[in-house]
Amino acid sequence: MEVLSAIALRRLRLLSTAPSGVDLQSKLTFLAQLAGMGYRVENPEAYNDSVLYDFAQTVEVLKEMRGGKVDYTPLFSGFPDKVPEDRAYFIDRLIGFLVRDCLTYPQGTRLENGLVVPDWLFDLKEFGADPIAQMQDPKLRAAAKEQQAGRKQDTHVEWVSLRLADFAELEERALDYLRGNLYAKSSIQEMLRPDLEWLLGHFSAEQVDPAQVVFRETRTYLSKYYWERADYVMVARLCDTPTDFLRLFAALTGGDISLAEKTSYPKLKRAQRRVVLAGLERAANLEEDLRRYRGLWLAVGRGLHPGAEARDFPRAAAAFQILRNGTIRSFNSHIEMAFQSGASMQVLEKLAERPTLLARRLQQLLKANPGREEAIFSQFSRVAGQVPLKILLQLESYFRNQWRSDYRTILNKKGKLRVVRRPYILHGGVLERVADLLAGQARAQVAARPSWSGKTCWIDAALSKYTVPFQLRKASEGMLVLGRGTRLPLDTGKVLRLFVYWKQRQHRTDLDLSLLKFDEKMHSTGNVSYTRLASEGIVHSGDLQDAPLGAAEFIDVELSVVRKLPDCRYLAPQINRFCGDYFALMDCHSGWMIRDKVDARYESFDLKTVQNKFDLTGTSGYCLPILVDLQESEILFIDLYVTGRSQHNTAEAAVHDVSILCQQMVLLGQMLPNLYDLAVLHQQARGAVRVHRPEEAEITFGLSGQTYSADRMEKILSDLC
C-alpha cells in the first residue's frame, strides 16, 4: 500500500481508487467485509475494483485504527461470566505457590517455564495465563486465543464512515490536510510528525505559504525541511529568534521541539554555523533569548565557535561572552521586579510593547492596582489587536468562569496536569468587565476577516460539548482528535467495556486497568481492580503481570445497573504502571467499546464495537483516559498522564489525587472555549445569516462532513482560530 494512500486512510478516512472496472460480486464482498469491521462507505457508487489491489494492507490499516491488529486474551477465559471470587481465588493462588515451593515433584500441568499448575486446583481451560503467578505462557495463550476465535460477534456496531476518492481528490485532500496542520494556530500532535514530514516531502514546501505558518513549533517542521536541503535562505526566513534555532536542533536530532524535555544539538559544518550566527546577529532580543535557555546555549556555543567568527558576527560573539561571564537582565525579570516592588503601573507601557505578555498579566495588574482598571483597560485595548485570537478566547473563558472553582488547572507542555489553589479571585464586577473587553477584542479580530455577509450558516448545537483543542502536542493518537474536556454521548442501557493492551520491550511490565467510583461530590465510593475483581454491575477480566506476548485487561460496566446505585455518579478508569517499561516505550493502547452482548459466548474484543482507541504515550505513573458521567450519560475525554511513583502505582493509593483531578476536569470542560461558541462568534462577527437546517446553508458547522467539522480539527485551528 502506497504511503500516501495509507496516510489518507488513517487521517482522512479516504479509500484510494484508480480507473478500473466494476464486478458486482466483488463490490458486495468488499462492502460486507468493511461492514464486518464497523466501516461503511459514504459513496458506494464510486466503487471500482481498483480498491482491491492493496486490500490486504487496507484491512491491516483499518484494523490498526480500532486496535484490532493484536490478540486480546484475558486472564479469565470465561470473562465476564466466570470470574472467581476474590478471596477464594487468592487462597487458591496461595496454595498453588506453596505446592510449587514445598513439593519436589508437584503433580499437574507443566508450563513452558517449568512451573507446574495442579490440575486439582485450577482448570486451565478457564485461564489464558498461569493462574498462580499470572504470567503469560505460550500454550495457555494459544488455547485462549483459539477459544476467542470460535466465539460470536456482537450485534452492536459503532460505525465509522469512509469515502472512496480518486487520485486527484486524494492529492487535493492530503495537501489541504498538510496545510491545515501547518497553518494551525496551535500545537499539533507529536504523533502526526512522521506523516506530516512525509507529506511535506511529497508535495514539496513550495506548496506551503511560510507566511501562514505562524505557530513557532510548527515553523520548525518547515525549517527542518529546508535545512536538510541546504536552503539556508528559507531557514533564515523561518528562524528569526534564537529559540527557533534550538527547536530546529531538537527536530534534527529527534528531540522535543517544545524544549520541555532534555534535547541535544547536531554537529554543524562551518557554513551551517555561520547561518546560525547570522540569525543570532539579527535577533531583536538576543541576550534575553539566550538567557531563557542558558544551559542549552552554553552547550551549543561550544560548537558554534562564536569567538572565531566575531569579526563577521560581533553582536552574537559579545552575547555569548556575556552569557558565559556576565549577568543578563531580561525583560521578564525587569517586569517581575516591578511587580514585587509594587510599581507594576510604572511598567504598564513597557508591558504593552509585548501585547501577548500584557494579556497574560492582566489578572496580576488588576489585582495589584485596584481602582486603576480604566488605565489598564485603555492600555490593553490599544494593543489587543496584536494578541493572537486563541489567547483572547482562552483568557475570556478564564475570566468569565474563574469564580466556579478555588483551584486552577494547569496543563504543561509534557501533557501533565497540575492543580493549584488560586491565590486570589478578582471582584465579580471586574471579572465581568475584563471578560467583556476580551470578548469584544476577539469579535473585532474575527470581524476583520473576509466577510460572510449574505451567506447562510448552520451550526450543530452538539458542538457545545466539544472543546477547542488548543493543546494537542501531547494528545494521544486515536481514532478521534478531541480536546480535553470534550463530552461524548454514552448509549443508555448497554455495556461499556474498557480495555488496555500492552507488549513489553525491555523489562517485565505490569499495567493494571482499574475503575474508581465517585459520588456527586467526587468522594470515593469504591473501586474495581486486581485487588477487587467485581462490584455491583462491574467486573474485571483478571490481572496479568507480564506481557512478552502482548497482554490485555478488560473491565465491563453494566450501565443499567450502576446508574441505579445511589452513591455512584462518576466512573474514572485508571491505567497504572505497576512496574516495568513506560507507556511510551511499548506498543500500548487503550480505549472503550459499546457492547450489547458480553457473555462468554461472544468475543472479548470486537473490532466493530470500538468507539475510540488511542495509543498510550506518556512517561508517568498512571493514565486517566476518560471520566464517565452516569447522570448525563456522557464520556468526558481527559487524556491525562499523572506523575506517580517510579513503580507500584495502585488505584487505592491514588484515590485522593484522582478525585481532585477529575473534579477539576469536569469544571475545566465547562470553562474552556467550545466549538459551538467559536462557530457562533464567526457567524455573527462576519455577518452570516443563521438557518435551521444544514441543507439550507452555504457554510456549515457540525460533527462530520460539514464545511467545518469536529473530526477535522486541523481546518478549524487553521481557519477559525
Q: With cut-offs at 50, 70 and 90, classify the pLDDT of residue 411.
A: low
What is the rounded average pLDDT of the residues 256-266? Answer: 81
Q: Which range has the worst mean pLDDT, 34-38, 403-407, 623-627?
A: 403-407
Q: How far apart are CA 141 and CA 135, in angstroms?
A: 10
CB 636 within 8 A of CB 666: yes
Q: Is 448 exposed, middle or buried (0-12, 13-18, 19+ CB in 10 A)?
A: exposed
Judging by DSSP bridges, how do beta strands 160-166 and 14-17 pair with one another? parallel
**pLDDT value, residue 388:** 93
What is the rounded average pLDDT of the residues 531-536? Answer: 93
Q: How far apart are CA 447 and CA 450, in angstroms?
A: 8
* Residues whose CB is less than 8 angstroms from the CB of residue 618 and which lie 6 or more positions away in sequence, other chains included: 415, 416, 474, 582, 583, 584, 641
**pLDDT value, residue 278:** 94
**pLDDT value, residue 1:** 66
Ranges 49-58, 332-341, 424-433, most confident? 49-58
User: What digits encode the pLDDT tens for the residues 73-112?
Assistant: 999 999 999 999 999 999 999 999 988 877 766 788 999 9
491 pLDDT more than 90 = no
What is the rounded average pLDDT of the residues 547-565? Answer: 95
Identify the CA nearest to 574 among candidates 537, 629, 628: 628
User: What digits encode the pLDDT tens for the residues 628-664?
Assistant: 999 999 999 988 888 776 667 788 888 888 998 898 8
**pLDDT value, residue 471:** 76
Give the N- to C-terminal CA distance of the chain in Å, as an integer: 35
Which residues are 576's β-sheet partners? 512, 622
Give one DSSP letter per residue of 523-556, joined into a string: -EEEEEBTTB-EETTEEE-------SS-EEEEEE
User: What digits encode the pLDDT tens for the residues 176-186?
Assistant: 999 999 999 88
Q: How far apart are CA 527 and CA 512, in angstroms?
A: 13
226 pLDDT more than 80 = yes
Q: With cut-offs at 50, 70 and 90, classify the pLDDT of residue 154.
A: very high
**pLDDT value, residue 455:** 97
CB 516 within 8 A of CB 655: yes
For the chain, the average pLDDT equals 90
CB 290 within 8 A of CB 328: yes
pTM over 0.85: yes
Burial code (b: 16+ CB inside 10 Å, e: under 16) for 370-394 equals: eeebeebbebbeebbeebbbbbbbb
User: What digits encode the pLDDT tens for the residues 22-31?
Assistant: 999 999 999 9
What is the rounded average pLDDT of the residues 576-584? Answer: 91
